[in-house]
Amino acid sequence: MDKVSGGASLDGLKSDFALLDDWEDRYRHVIDLGRELPVLAEADHTPANKVRGCASQVWLVSRRSGPADNPVVEFYGDSDALIVKGLIAIAFMIYSGQTARAILATDAGPVLDELGLSSHLTQQRSNGFAAMIQRIKADARAALHDSPGAWIAGR
């Protein structure tokens, strides 16, 4: 549950945030996470992959593997805003590479609370993050309910 593409871990992020006293430093760290997010192919910047409910443009792609009754879902994403790319990276630390059932059972709220992000994100950013999590969970549900032949790469 700790790794995201690029090698950053949720435990590592918690440790980093514990060392950073100033919220400006924490925001810069989130932006750095966004810069480290693997590049999403331009072909994946489609209306179907766009997350609704985000003020910034956000694209999210999911791919499943493993057994049909509880597949592993990997997520890939991008945004036109660096801070949002960092929030995408945090969401991926929580969810990417997990089984669909684990994704559906995991609440991102306690992680945001532990990092202190809940109280430091604007309402608009909080709503956008919630929209990303809803999309991640919808993709996990789809991975569980679709037959393997019906799963389309990227959705």
Q: What is the C-alpha end-to-end distance of the chain, expressed in Å? A: 22
Question: Which listed residue (31, 37, 54, 117) is catalytic?
Answer: 54
Tokens found for residue 34: 């966004």
Residue 54 annotated to the active site: yes
Tell me the backbone φ, ψ of residue 144, rounded to 5 degrees.
-75, -35
Report how far residue 46's alpha carbon sits from residue 57's, in angstroms, rounded to the nearest whole number: 11
Residue in this structure with the two tokens 């929580």, named with its chain if needed: 94
Provide the 3-class DSSP secondary structure of residue 59.
strand
- Which tokens in the block code for residue 84? 């949002």
Provide the annotated active-site residues.
54
